[in-house]
Amino acid sequence: MTPDGPDPDTARRPASARDRLIATAARLFQEQGYVATGLNEILAGAGAPKGSLYHYFPDGKAGLAAAAIDAAASGLEASLKQAHSTAGGAAGMVEAYGEMLAGWMEASHFRRGCPVATVALEVTPGDDAAAQAVREAFARWRTALSEAISADGVASKRADALAGFTLAAIEGALILARADASAEPVRAAAREAAALIRAAKPQG
């Protein structure tokens, strides 16, 4: 939802051209959306020549977007799992995660939201690699959330419903946060979702 990794503009050289392209694309998609981000802009930001793009991503912009989304999904999934082990439970994980996202939004002055949501809204569903990557990203997050909630003892069906709801609430909150230039919706959404998860946990 708000992955960063090392800023590709500051620490540019170490990573490969391919990785720099992915990181730059993800960042620009967050800030401006998928369609509004030009290939030239990505190329310039990554310091890569034009031919490289079609060498690494023969499917062009959609292929690069798919890779960027995959990378973002992996990063966020890892953050989620780390938050789980740190917090020791699904509810705490969601709270920690919301706090992290809220901090990221504030750090970017509410310019960087979820790189997946933008692509999701700007691409006609089902048509290309990017749309598929969007589906997979959401599915991975939902699964990760669901497993964490299940691990708390919640029945798997209920856990999955709560996971979907939590994901929706956070994604929606990121949009509201961007529009209002305030991280409050994200923190509030995480808090409410966490409360719901706690309430679903079998007592004792």
* DSSP states of 162-179: HHHHHHHHHHHHHHHHHH
Should residue 56 be labelled a site residue for DNA when binding is judged by CB under 7 A? yes
Which parts of 133-162 interact with a copy of itself (CB under 8 A)?
134-135, 138, 161-162
* DSSP states of 66-89: HHHHHHHHHHHHHHHHHHHHHHSS
Angle, in degrees to the nearest 10, between helices 129-151 and 115-122: 130
Encoded one letter per residue, x for contact with a copy of itself by CB under 8 A and - for no contact, window 15-34 reads ----------------xxxx
Which residue's CB is nearer to a copy of itself, number 92 or number 113?
Answer: 113
Distance CA 109, CA 104 (A): 9
**Partner in contact with 138, chosen from DNA, a copy of itself, none, beta carbon below 5 to 8 Å by kind:** a copy of itself
**Partner in contact with 86, chosen from a copy of itself, DNA, none, beta carbon below 5 to 8 Å by kind:** none
Should residue 110 be labelled a site residue for DNA when binding is judged by CB under 7 A? no
Should residue 87 be labelled a site residue for a copy of itself when binding is judged by CB under 8 A? no
CB of 1 to DNA, least distance (A): 23
Tokens of 92: 């705490």
Distant-in-sequence, close-in-space partners of 5: CB < 8 Å, separation ≥ 6: 23, 75
Contact 152, 132 (CB under 8 A): no
According to CB under 8 A, which one of 9, 11, 16, 35 is a site residue for a copy of itself? 35
Region binding DNA by CB under 7 A among candidate stretches 36-44, 71-79, 110-118, 139-147: 36-44
Should residue 169 be labelled a site residue for a copy of itself when binding is judged by CB under 8 A? yes
